[in-house]
A and B are shown apart, each in its own frame.
Chain A
Amino acid sequence: MNSLLITGGRVIDPASGGDAIADVLIRDGRIESIGTGLNATDVTVLHAEGAIVAPGFIDMHVHLREPGFEHAETIESGAKAAAAGGFTTICCMPNTQPINDSATVTSYIVQRAREIAKVNVFPIGAITKGSLGVELAAIGSMREAGIVAISDDGRPVMNARVMRRAMELARALDILVIDHCEDLDLSAGGDMHEGIQSVRLGLHGIPSAAEDVMVARDLLLAELTGARYHVAHLSTSNAVTMVAFAKTRGLPVTCEVTPHHFAITDEELSGYDSNYKMKPPLRCRHDAEAVIEGIVNGTVDAIATDHAPHPGSEKMQEFERCPFGITGLETAIGLSLAELVHKDKIGLMRFVELFTTGPANVLKLDRGTLAPGAPADVTVFDLNSEWTYDVQQSYSKSRNSPFHGRRFRGGPLATIVGGKIAWTKD
């Protein structure tokens, strides 16, 4: 008998709307019951008094770098970082080497994750072969092998006709299409957000319009095809407005935002520190505020990290030569609490929703809830413990975070995956 009893925490479950002090009993990898004064013999007890007990957090946008770039991250190390960040489920983007554009690569990731990952890992398959934007990838076979969505993240499909065909197929297969919205002609040569800061620093800019143009195109194609369509790491004011508009028209359109896009702006990019370089770039204050407004008003469905590890050797270069991307799994809860909850933008129920039922509904996963019978994925976090992020202690194989040394109030305490404790603080 494999049982775990989480006692005395404030249990918040957006799926049922529950918010009360209770115990959670887990048996054989599933939620058995929630209630007060639960007792069971032969159980491991996890004390959660004073903490929040929530469904396991889902990060629907990470890069695990395996296969192909194991010096930057592996399925094992990325999953450890996820667990330490309070995530029980992560979805990994297909831009590995080889690209995850076939059932073979998908099966490898699924198998490897089963063997070694501390959290659930669901692969996302490529839209086009090699993510080259020309021919459709083996989407049907990948779906059978276990992908939960398709995306050419980082190398968006520029050809609208190809995107249309992908969406048509995705609709038939009932699989989500995720797009990294970037018009590559408008963004070409850019290293940061185009604005006063890029002009000041003499760096080439990426205009917000590079994202907006693509979001607009995709929303029109989603309407044309009826596909379930999701905007990855949405970062601009116009994109928030357009997604909200598409939703009012009843389109099956969703979006995610990253903590870094609402926590920091291009104003913080000084000293040419490549840990502030990512795509989409850190936008201006106006955009960051619009993203938060989108979270508050319900336009945003999920918070995702876009965890993008790069080894030091790649980030220790002139700004314009460094690759795009920062790590994010271990700082997501701390940053989101700081910017959203502690600043009274949203309540805890909405906060938990953005990490649980939000992404679960987008992906149609049977997770993100504490309903009896559901997989026993649980995230325990608190609101008040003071801690400082030390990137040198990260479980990730990479160190490219702009949040090294940042002080946080509240963060993950324990991560339970399939009824087993995957990580606890200290």
Chain B
Amino acid sequence: MSPGSLLDLESLNRTEIETILTRARFFQPLPKQSYKRFETLRGKMIVNLFFEASTRTRVSFEIAARRLGAETVSIAAQTSSTSKGESLVDTLNTLVAMRPDAIVMRHSASGAPHFLSRHLQIPIVNAGDGTHEHPTQGLLDALTIMDRRMDRESPLEGIRVAIIGDIAHSRVARSNVHLLSRFGADIVLCGPPSLLPRELEHLAPGVRLAYDLPEAIRDADVIMMLRVQLERQHEAPMAAGEYFRFYGLRLEHLALAKPDVIVMHPGPINRGRELSSEVADSQRSVILNQVENGVAVRMAVLERIWA
């Protein structure tokens, strides 16, 4: 693995995570201002290689790179040579021969960036690998929670976070669990049984499982809703139409949580499928703050490559 790579949060320690978050906070813009422009990465060429459709993450990485003065090329791999049968390693070798300075990649296979990092001498930032991890999402979620709790010395210590939905297939959940656990959060994972394997309880310290939504969000400081990812499921977890009834977040649920609870979602949201429109638009929702923080976090992660 080349130094500066970010493949997952599980392998980062608390100090490494804090360093990134502190730097991200430095990049956060003042209200109603745009992100400041830096020249730190002037002359660097960063390739965004997205083997899976993505708008927000790709644009967020692009903006982050450009705000740091780097040049970027974004490739949607469906339109590239992989559709002609070229292997992943060959595609990457071809790109690397053009001497970019770093690769940001998203891929539908868990571990694809880990596999490549064993064979290529170039920094790789994981922008989401299959159902494994999405490290920059975990970081921006932490930053968003901390923004609301700046009055506390350790804003993540002891907070109760409920993560609801398709945990089994969620890279966002895994990255969040690893990060939040490092900082001593209480984490409740909740979903229908086939999307909530029992082994998850042993993923990190401080994790417990619940199959009942009201139980999961009782006294929660943070509720993270996950997208129902039909494209990753082999079979329906429960009868059609029952999902929203049992696992969809509605306004009346919020009364069970702490009064200042925040509702998060990695997007894109499915209104009426995993959360109601009213919740998505409520004062408790910080979904757009997450998107905003994505740029700051990705600036910190890209800058870190050459730190």
Contacts and interface: CB of A to CB of B under 8 A. Distances in A.
B114 interface: yes
B110 interface: yes
A224 interface: no
B197 interface: yes
Contact of A200 (B88, B109, B115, B203): B203
B174 A319 contact: no
A422 B133 CA distance: 50
Given A199-B203, A202-B133, A320 B118 contact: no
A262 B204 CA distance: 27
A269 to B, nearest CB: 10
Interface in B113-148: 114-115, 118-119, 129-133
B132 A202 contact: yes
A41 interface: no
25 contacts: A189-B234, A199-B168, A199-B203, A200-B10, A200-B203, A201-B132, A202-B111, A202-B129, A202-B130, A202-B132, A202-B133, A202-B171, A203-B111, A203-B131, A203-B132, A272-B112, A272-B114, A316-B89, A317-B88, A317-B115, A318-B88, A318-B107, A318-B109, A319-B110, A320-B110
B199 interface: yes
Nearest to B201: A196
Contacts of A272: 110-112, 114-115
Contacts of A203: 110-111, 131-132
Interface of B: 10, 87-89, 107, 109-112, 114-115, 118-119, 129-133, 168, 171, 174, 197, 199-200, 202-203, 234
Given A272-B115, A316-B87, A318-B115, A199 B110 contact: no
Contact of B234 (A188, A195, A196, A200): A188
Interface residues of A, number: 23
Contacts of B111: 201-203, 271-272, 318-319
Listed from nearest, the 3 A-B pairs whose CB atoms lie closest are A272-B111, A202-B132, A318-B109
Interface string A293-321: 00000000000000000000100111111
Contact of A319 (B115, B168, B199, B202): B115
Contacts of A201: 110-111, 132
A202 B131 contact: yes
Given A199-B197, A202-B174, A320 B87 contact: no
Q: By CB atoms of chain B within 10 A, which of A194, A195, A199, A318 has the most?
A: A318
A320 B110 CA distance: 8
Given A201-B132, A202-B130, A319-B111, 11 more contacts: A196-B202, A199-B200, A199-B203, A201-B110, A202-B111, A271-B114, A272-B114, A272-B115, A317-B89, A318-B107, A320-B109
Contacts, number: 67
B234 A202 contact: no
B130 A320 contact: yes
A77 B110 CA distance: 34
Q: By CB atoms of chain A within 10 A, which of B89, B110, B118 has the most?
A: B110
A198 to B, nearest CB: 8
Contact of B110 (A188, A194, A202, A317): A202
A224 to B, nearest CB: 32
B30 to A, nearest CB: 38
Interface of A: 188-189, 194-196, 198-203, 205, 271-274, 313, 316-321
Nearest to B171: A202
A321 B107 CA distance: 13
Contacts of A188: 234
Contacts of A319: 109-111, 115
Contacts of B202: 196
Contacts of A205: 197
B203 A196 contact: yes
Contacts of A316: 87, 89, 119
A127 B234 CA distance: 30
A313 B87 contact: yes
Contact of A317 (B87, B133, B199, B234): B87
Contacts of A318: 88, 107, 109, 111-112, 115
Q: By CB atoms of chain A within 10 A, which of B89, B130, B132 has the most?
A: B130
Contacts of B110: 201-203, 272, 319-320
B200 A321 contact: no
Contacts of B130: 202, 320
B103 to A, nearest CB: 15
Q: By CB atoms of chain A within 10 A, which of B109, B119, B197, B202 has the most?
A: B109
Nearest to A199: B199
A68 to B, nearest CB: 21
Nearest to B178: A200
A272 B129 CA distance: 12
Contacts of A273: 115, 118
A413 B197 CA distance: 48
A75 B42 CA distance: 58
